[in-house]
Structure 1
Amino acid sequence: MAIMRVLPVVLLAAGASAQPVPTVPTLPITIPITIATTTSTTSTTSSTAPATCTCTGGTPTRQSFTTGVGTGSCGHLDADGNPGFFPLACGGLYFGGAGVSTPLPSTIPDLGTTVTNVSCNGTALTLSGTTPADTGGNRCSGGTNHHNACASNADCPGGACKFLTCSNAGCLFGPPLPVPNGSHSGAATSTCVINTVAANGAGTGDCAAGTTTSYNLPLGSALFLAGDLMPMRCSGGTAPGANCTGGGACGTTTACPGGGTCVNDTGRCTDNGGPCCSDGDCNVGATCESAACVGGTNDGKGCITAADCPGAGAHCRTFIQPCPICDPTTNTCDGGPNNGLTCTPGASPVDGDFPTSHDCPPATSLGIGTLSIGFKLDTGTITQTAVDTADQVNVFCGFCKNKTLNSFARKCDGAATGANCTGDGNCPAGQHCLPIACNPANGNADCAAATGFTSCGQRTSGAFTSNDVARTIVETGSPAGSQTTGGAAQPQTLVSIFCIPPTFNTLVDSAADLPGPGAAVLQGTVQLQ
């Protein structure tokens, strides 16, 4: 006859003390465990052997991915009856509908490293987020301990501790991302984007194939409407690249240290490459553009895109710096609140708006809000197909809107029945003023309760270009192949397609055509450790 007894067992949860995770108090937890006894038989138990990792080189604990300079094409857009009409560049960031006026793509910075924790079963990898303490390499930005190591903001009086390579919530993702608007007279709507991980990274992979599958890394993208921070910059002297713009913006100067010359860093005329601040500085029929061709038959002349720069290897180099620059010659910040302070470049000088660095942040006064981005990375081929609703065709991303005014709802906590708001201050404590996301596959049903904003759609149909109205976005990643724990870094391409909400800044939403779809291709290297 079996006799059942319930015994209380007390487990202690040990507190964590490493920064920035707060200390968790020790808690007694009482769990009833049922034990069966018998007078006539003896029971035996067996245990399953722990999972065995078969990755070459041993069991890994970490994986790091570092962005590189993108080359070639890694995807395309399809339109109805017009497949592959628009290529998507590797290393490029795309955003907006067919009405976007900002020339695309924006360049994704290289040298951005993200480290994940890894557990292994056979060749299958489980990827999870790392803490600032796991990865180290964090630095103070600003304050009395600028550019020195830190574990938390407490180590950075007057500044902030920047968590540079980890992948848990609160860690930074990549260097500051400049988004210059090189369209004619569009520089004023250029932005600097600081991406911060919004929730701990999580996904899967395989060390035999070198794949990453659905690595979920939601981002909070803080936008700074900076325009061009440095219309005039020093050439030569002891502070090359420093801002020397006078009080009258382009064309006015201040002295450059060490005998340098203050030169125009705003624009070039399209006919003869002469420095210019506006079209009036150029000959009749020519325009002043915020970039110049490097190489080719139009070398030195103003340009908007690479198409304006014919010739092998020629490209269009921007003069717009929406993010402060970490000068690679002097290793000091040019522009921003940390102007003149020591910095380490976070990217290569691949264009005129680089290298950026978290040692050189934009001024907080330029901030216009933070966008929630559902960033999910994969080495496979991913697609997103637009749907037609009763009110709009070719919709990739839905937000509740007034279809007549083409304006979008803002409600407390982003709820259709929430109170109207213009900022968090209009909402109850703990709530935020947000747009209302909706699924266009449901038609307008998700917006039925959003009075005045009962249509589900995006600002303009399509994606990324006015060449045609896109129906499908296709992004193609590439795996690294067989990985060896502790081996050399190997090429890998990660891709993501996502939705971008409105900023509710009229200038930015018009130039970027938001809300709408977004796509990114991160071409770089991966290493199993």
Structure 2
Amino acid sequence: MTGLRCGKVALSGGIMLIALSLTAGTSLAQTCSCCTASPQLSFTTGTPQIGGGGCGTTKDSGGAILRRLDCGGLYFGGAGVGVPLPAVVPDLGQSILNITACSASTGALTLGATTPADSGSNRNCSAGGVSNPEYPGKNGCLFGPPLPIPNASSPATSSCVVNRVAQNATGSGNCTNGSSSVNLPLLSDIYLTGDLVSNVPGIQPCPVCLNGTCNGGPRSGLPCTPADSASLGAAYPTSHDCPPPPTLFIGSLSIPFSLSTGPQTKTSVDLPAQQFVFCGYCATQVTGTFQNPPRPCTSDANCSAASGFPTCRQRTGGAFGQAARTITETGSPAGVCLGDGAAHNATEVSVFCVPPSFNATADAAGDLPGPGAVALPGQTRFLP
């Protein structure tokens, strides 16, 4: 009799626990939902944390840390890069994605591209093929403000980069914790500018917007609105209101850009022609001249001897000035429900390959082709 009563109590307790669990699950679904009529997901870059080394590492073959990678820093090139790294990534750069599918029960999101009609501007949308009046003939939503890459070691090789979306963004995420993974191929337009504004201290590879007026470039003296913060350094603030001189454009780099709030790692390999290869491209065997257009490869077998470019290699082995074996960038999701519509801190990262520009000056300074890496601290926000 006593055993039967205990059994009833246990059964009753189990039913109660199940009921509580179901109630909690229902409550979570009801209180954390991004499934509204026309939902969107926004990410805006925040203040770079240069010098902190808090977002990633490069390591040697034994696992020892060679370099700590800064949040808000852009790294590129092999062991022979001649540009001081990192380049500072502009803050206040917003990108908006459509939520094309949403699970109210799990919070899972399917993400897609926005057009200017969806986002309100060609400067924060995420679709390819979009017309840009600021850059005639160069289509694709603009990704962030103009990016200056000053080279104090060789000011004449300083450059200004304008990033455009090459193909419609696609991805996935989750409303309950703010995680996301987005495929966002870019075209990086390179302008070999040197110092455009000689009457301002420091190096300004991109025109700057000072006191509401463009300094440098074809719109010098005309009104502008800063797109990022002057506190980022002498090369800022930049603005698409102040484009670089079109005559200094040297080419567009196709970047297989994929952003994630999780970790991304790339490991180099040793090939017959070169050690520590992160990003191989087919090249000639003796001079290391790269095939044009660039042909990515992972081994010599991917390259054609008949074409005259039989060797798989990057310009110089390694990454970011060292003989690195691995590159790791570590992102972080918001860690909270995004359904409240508030801005929440998050970090999105990408490790990628940068092809040659086929401009001798730019490729020598940037040690291209080679790897690239970036960590973007910022804020993510659900837009109902």
TM-score (norm 1): 0.62
- 2:176 paired residue number: 208
3-state SS in 2 of match to 1:358: coil
Q: Which runs of 5+ in 1 are unaligned?
A: 1-51, 140-150, 164-168, 234-264, 266-318, 411-433
> CA shift at 1:56, angstroms?
1.4
- Please give the residue correspondences for 1:407-446 in structure 2 after superposition, counting only pairs within 5 Å: 407-410=289-292, 434-439=293-298, 443-446=299-302
User: In the alignment, which of 313, 325, 334 is matched to residue 208 of structure 2?
Assistant: 325
Change (3 A) 1:527 1:162: farther
Structure 1 or 2: more helix by fraction: 2
User: In the alignment, which of 62, 67, 77 is matched to residue 86 of structure 1?
Assistant: 67
Count of residue pairs brought into register by the alignment:
341
- Please give the residue correspondences for 1:495-514 in structure 2 after superposition, counting only pairs within 5 Å: 495-514=349-368
3-state SS in 2 of match to 1:408: coil
1:342 aligned onto 2:216: no
3-state SS in 2 of match to 1:470: coil
- 1:171 paired residue number: 141
3-state SS in 1 of match to 2:325: strand
> CA shift at 1:507, angstroms?
1.0
Change (3 A) 1:188 1:161: closer
- 2:160 paired residue number: 192
User: In the alignment, which of 269, 275, 279 is matched to residue 397 of structure 1?
Assistant: 279
Q: In the alignment, is the contact (CA less than 8 A) between 1:162 and 1:358 conserved in 2?
A: no
> CA shift at 1:435, angstroms?
1.3
Deviation track 1:104-161 (CA, whole Å, cap 9, x = no partner) reads: 000000000000001311310111100110111458xxxxxxxxxxx967xx6xx668
- Take 1:500 and 1:77, find their aligned partners in 2: how far apart are those partners? 17
2:179 partner amino acid: T
> CA shift at 1:82, angstroms?
4.6
> CA shift at 1:81, angstroms?
1.9
- Take 2:60 and 2:114, find their aligned partners in 1: how far apart are those partners? 40
- Please give the residue correspondences for 1:83-162 in structure 2 after superposition, counting only pairs within 5 Å: 83-118=64-99, 119-121=101-103, 122-138=106-122
Q: In the alignment, is the contact (CA less than 8 A) between 2:178 and 2:338 conserved in 1?
A: no
Q: In the alignment, is the contact (CA less than 8 A) between 1:55 and 1:123 conserved in 2?
A: no
User: In the alignment, which of 221, 243, 246 is matched to residue 364 of structure 1?
Assistant: 246
Q: In the alignment, is the contact (CA less than 8 A) between 1:173 and 1:197 conserved in 2?
A: yes
> CA shift at 1:55, angstroms?
6.3
Deviation track 1:331-350 (CA, whole Å, cap 9, x = no partner) reads: 11011001111111010011
Root-mean-square deviation (CA), in Å? 2.1
> CA shift at 1:208, angstroms?
1.2
1:353 aligned onto 2:331: no
Change (3 A) 1:457 1:112: same
Q: In the alignment, is the contact (CA less than 8 A) between 1:175 and 1:358 conserved in 2?
A: yes
> CA shift at 1:388, angstroms?
1.0
1:56 aligned onto 2:32: yes
Q: In the alignment, is the contact (CA less than 8 A) between 1:325 and 1:356 conserved in 2?
A: yes
1:452 aligned onto 2:308: yes
TM-score (norm 2): 0.85
- Take 2:285 and 2:317, find their aligned partners in 1: how far apart are those partners? 13
3-state SS in 1 of match to 2:247: helix
- Take 1:450 and 1:373, find their aligned partners in 2: how far apart are those partners? 27
> CA shift at 1:389, angstroms?
1.1
Change (3 A) 1:68 1:340: same
- 1:464 paired residue number: 320
- Take 2:34 and 2:176, find their aligned partners in 1: how far apart are those partners? 12
Q: In the alignment, is the contact (CA less than 8 A) between 1:209 and 1:482 conserved in 2?
A: yes
2:171 partner amino acid: G
> CA shift at 1:231, angstroms?
1.9
> CA shift at 1:70, angstroms?
2.1
- Take 1:162 and 1:125, find their aligned partners in 2: how far apart are those partners? 34
Higher mean alpha-carbon deviation, 480-489 vs 496-505, is at: 480-489
3-state SS in 2 of match to 1:81: coil
3-state SS in 2 of match to 1:370: strand
Change (3 A) 1:230 1:449: same
1:91 partner amino acid: G
> CA shift at 1:57, angstroms?
5.2
Change (3 A) 1:503 1:138: closer
Deviation track 1:59-98 (CA, whole Å, cap 9, x = no partner) reads: 2410100001122310000101252221000000000000
3-state SS in 2 of match to 1:399: strand
- 2:25 paired residue number: none
- Take 1:64 and 1:162, find their aligned partners in 2: how far apart are those partners? 27
- Please give the residue correspondences for 1:3-82 in structure 2 after superposition, counting only pairs within 5 Å: 56=32, 59-60=35-36, 61-71=39-49, 72=52, 73-82=54-63
2:350 partner amino acid: S
3-state SS in 1 of match to 2:172: strand
> CA shift at 1:453, angstroms?
1.4
- Take 1:232 and 1:112, find their aligned partners in 2: how far apart are those partners? 27
Q: In the alignment, is the contact (CA less than 8 A) between 1:138 and 1:161 conserved in 2?
A: no
How many percent of aligned residue pairs carry the same amino acid? 51
Deviation track 1:172-228 (CA, whole Å, cap 9, x = no partner) reads: 000000011122xx0100110000000011111111121012x00000000000000
- 1:223 paired residue number: 190
- Take 1:126 and 1:58, find their aligned partners in 2: how far apart are those partners? 11
Change (3 A) 1:476 1:138: closer
3-state SS in 2 of match to 1:528: strand
Which structure carries more relative contact order (alpha carbon 8 Å, separation 6+)? Answer: 2
Q: In the alignment, is the contact (CA less than 8 A) between 1:66 and 1:114 conserved in 2?
A: yes
Change (3 A) 1:57 1:82: closer
Q: Which runs of 5+ in 2 are unaligned?
A: 1-27, 124-129
Change (3 A) 1:221 1:490: same
- 1:289 paired residue number: none
- Please give the residue correspondences for 1:202-351 in structure 2 after superposition, counting only pairs within 5 Å: 202-213=170-181, 215-233=182-200, 265=201, 319-327=202-210, 330-349=211-230, 350-351=232-233
